[in-house]
Structure 1
């Protein structure tokens, strides 16, 4: 049986508990970023149109992934509360209900993306005619894997909130390996290679952008199925069985929806804002669109590690409040925030210093490299503000206080970032720098409101 970590042992320093939970998630996210780098470089080698096609779809894909993550948050916070209480039977009921949600939501998303969104999105985004068929194909193939994708996301959330962050990390490593190998075999055409003095024909599919999407979907299918099997096969206090009752439980479903809806609305707020920002950038030309994608990809190496501390905050706060250890929940929240800021200061400094070499990994176009590197250096000074918003958002979600992260995101994106970016583009002619500069103001607002909510402690009495 998998050994459960005791998060209520006060002899273990809080920072050690935070690191115990966060480091596998940080490793997982860094590996994801490394593979995203490889993906971007492989797609970028096909040409600027291929890079632009992927860029067109990214905000929408992030929006849909956010919806799937909201489902995971809804059920995983409930499960973590039950585990903190020591009520494993209730935790098992919640996990079984989450399996039903995976099936229903996965089928719905697959149908709506492949049949409606993929054919129309490039036109909505005013993509150039050479980019349209590539973007349609890419998104349609990605959509075909959404049943497995939501399984991956929900099951990973459940395991992390139960205190098991290592299993999702291990599956992520395997997923990344499958994705990179799949990219190599599916993106490029066949070619002749020399091995031990003899020539061989290396058979490859030559599918281009569609091959990149197919490799992603196949690797996600592997992990989605594998993590689902873990919940059924691994001996844990919350192990489930097909022999148990899987009929819908309206009470649990309603509770999960109350937690998930604000999280989904938060992600929709951010994603629709990013789609609006991408539409602004599209009007600046293909080079600006490509530079934006490359800068965003480069920036991930800086900010993704703090999501490990946000995940740790969600788990530790949920379990602590489930055990009615409110002072411990506050203590863990503070440490998650401190460590997130420290890590972000280190990574943002590295991003500023090595901006050009980072972007140089993905393209040979000098103008695109310089423009994307400029965006990274603009943003480097504000990354600690982003860390505060991200980590404290995870803490509030663990408490079941999912409405405030939504309100904070709504204000930051739609009241601050987008109006400011539009003004800087059209009145001051700042170009791409307007969008990235406006993001700094957005993050400052989010950090200020998040700190106000956290330190006033109302989240500690939130009912779930």
Structure 2
């Protein structure tokens, strides 16, 4: 039976065998996992392009990277506030209501993103100074972040459209368009970062045009790629989606109080979590910055390299959110429980295997990202420390996706915050002066292991005590 047929069985209350449940969980997870891996490969190429410009160029982007995550996380929180409601409505066979939530979400999210973009542009000039970066990388870091801030409304539409499609059960299209966005990013960066040059292929000299804008070119290339991809993602959602096609009927785009209240209840804790956790990551950057330009660049590249391991976990988490959300909307708590356990187990297995790959391939990964030997050595040591945390990191990522699907985000968000601030930052501040950048990554490894453990404990408690999950709509 097809994925759509299995999802229909979930919504209509029909019995699914254990094999069918596994098939459905895997069929939703695999496209997202493959897309995430493809995205990371493209990000590797992207990072290698900037890395070829030297340590200062790499450090200028690495300095503001955590702040870009902060702003991107706010947009993701808004998207979740509306997309989870869509999953519940579709699970309850209320597709008209799902499209109503979509229309209201589009207007609300776009207005929010415009406000965030204005804040980003206003702080872009002072941000490198606040983060403690050296004067040599200030101009590039500031320009990169300002262009990123300008792109936020476009990114918001992209994120919201992708989240809506995933929560409707369509993992394939957002996955394919995500790969397309990263491919476009690499192509655009090739033109914007480097000057016009001649390369030799099979003995033939080929001239490649380019603007030679360096770090600024990397930001512009990403902006152009996101504009094209956002148009494609929203176009499919609004015109081709079986469940959410806006051509089905005319509707009001004015946000309703009840929908906004529900979106705030789901999305606000996630946004606060993203803001506070990214603030903690920014503080980590402040801890790393005094260790020097090589440490800043190595930290940034190691984070990019590590994403090869944890981004597949986010793919499984997306599947968990969809399955839990639709099962709950259909009033099937036992099925929700089984999907939660299946997806968490799948995520832990996948990320354990990826952690092993990362440990073995760390030298090759860092060599691809940077030609600078000092950066490579630091990055290899950091990756091999982090590899040990990947299975429990998976537990926290996928369990959080389960909570999001249930619309229960307040306590899990608080758990993420407490773990980051009480464990990671405290340990990092203590270990960095002793062990340097490696000490920061030791703290990260310990904290992610602790976080996975408390998420598993919390989920087990909810299965036994949180009866209101059964009645959520």
Compute the TM-score of the two structures, normalised by the length of structure 2: 0.93
Tell me: CA distance 1:254–1:352, structure 2 relative to 1, closer, same or farther (3 Å). Answer: same
1:421·1:434 contact (CA, 8 Å) conserved in 2? Answer: yes
In the alignment, the residues of structure 2 paired with residue 438 and residue 177 of structure 1 have an alpha-carbon distance, to the nearest angstrom, of 34
Does 32-41 or 191-200 show the bigger shift? 191-200
Match of residue 432 from structure 1: 437
Match of residue 214 from structure 2: 208
In the alignment, the residues of structure 2 paired with residue 130 and residue 312 of structure 1 have an alpha-carbon distance, to the nearest angstrom, of 44
Match of residue 119 from structure 1: 125
Match of residue 178 from structure 1: 184
Match of residue 6 from structure 1: 6
1:102-124 deviation per Cα after TM superposition (whole angstroms, max 9, x unaligned): 3202211222112x121111010
| DSSP-derived class of the 2:213 partner | coil
1:198 Cα deviation after fit: 8.0
2:86·2:98 contact (CA, 8 Å) conserved in 1? Answer: yes
In the alignment, the residues of structure 1 paired with residue 467 and residue 193 of structure 2 have an alpha-carbon distance, to the nearest angstrom, of 50
Match of residue 385 from structure 1: 392
Are 1:449 and 2:449 matched, yes or no?
no
Tell me: CA distance 1:96–1:424, structure 2 relative to 1, closer, same or farther (3 Å). Answer: same
Tell me: CA distance 1:16–1:194, structure 2 relative to 1, closer, same or farther (3 Å). Answer: closer
Which residue among 90, 107, 116 is the counterpart of 1:83?
90
1:199 Cα deviation after fit: 6.3
Which residue among 214, 225, 236 is the counterpart of 1:230?
236
Are 1:217 and 2:252 matched, yes or no?
no
Tell me: CA distance 1:118–1:6, structure 2 relative to 1, closer, same or farther (3 Å). Answer: same
| DSSP-derived class of the 1:163 partner | coil
1:197 Cα deviation after fit: 8.3
Which residue among 375, 380, 388 is the counterpart of 1:373?
380
Match of residue 52 from structure 2: 45
2:168·2:243 contact (CA, 8 Å) conserved in 1? Answer: no
In the alignment, the residues of structure 2 paired with residue 240 and residue 260 of structure 1 have an alpha-carbon distance, to the nearest angstrom, of 23
Superposition RMSD in Å = 1.8
How do residues 171-320 of structure 1 correspond to structure 2 at under 5 angstroms? 171-192=177-198, 201-234=207-240, 236-241=242-247, 243-320=250-327
Which residue among 340, 354, 362 is the counterpart of 2:361?
354
Q: Which runs of 4 or more aligned residues in structure 1 lie more than 3 Å from their structure 2 counterparts after TM superposition? A: 2-5, 192-202
1:223-266 deviation per Cα after TM superposition (whole angstroms, max 9, x unaligned): 21222122221152332148421122111011101100001111
1:5·1:163 contact (CA, 8 Å) conserved in 2? Answer: no
In the alignment, the residues of structure 2 paired with residue 389 and residue 181 of structure 1 have an alpha-carbon distance, to the nearest angstrom, of 34
1:172 Cα deviation after fit: 1.5
1:3 Cα deviation after fit: 8.5
How do residues 65-84 of structure 1 correspond to structure 2 at under 5 angstroms? 65-84=72-91
1:201 Cα deviation after fit: 4.8
In the alignment, the residues of structure 1 paired with residue 154 and residue 124 of structure 2 have an alpha-carbon distance, to the nearest angstrom, of 18
1:65 Cα deviation after fit: 1.0
Compute the TM-score of the two structures, normalised by the length of structure 1: 0.95
Tell me: CA distance 1:193–1:45, structure 2 relative to 1, closer, same or farther (3 Å). Answer: closer
2:425·2:443 contact (CA, 8 Å) conserved in 1? Answer: yes
Match of residue 173 from structure 2: 167
| DSSP-derived class of the 1:131 partner | helix
Q: How many residues align?
A: 460
- Larger % of helix: which? 2
| DSSP-derived class of the 2:197 partner | strand
Structure 1 gaps, min length 5 = none
Tell me: CA distance 1:201–1:310, structure 2 relative to 1, closer, same or farther (3 Å). Answer: closer
Does 169-178 or 282-291 show the bigger shift? 169-178
2:198·2:206 contact (CA, 8 Å) conserved in 1? Answer: yes
In the alignment, the residues of structure 2 paired with residue 430 and residue 193 of structure 1 have an alpha-carbon distance, to the nearest angstrom, of 43
Which residue among 152, 170, 185 is the counterpart of 2:158?
152
Tell me: CA distance 1:86–1:133, structure 2 relative to 1, closer, same or farther (3 Å). Answer: same
1:353-405 deviation per Cα after TM superposition (whole angstroms, max 9, x unaligned): 11111111011222211111001111111111101111101001111110122
How do residues 322-333 of structure 1 correspond to structure 2 at under 5 angstroms? 322-333=329-340
Match of residue 33 from structure 1: 40
1:439 Cα deviation after fit: 1.2
2:6·2:24 contact (CA, 8 Å) conserved in 1? Answer: no
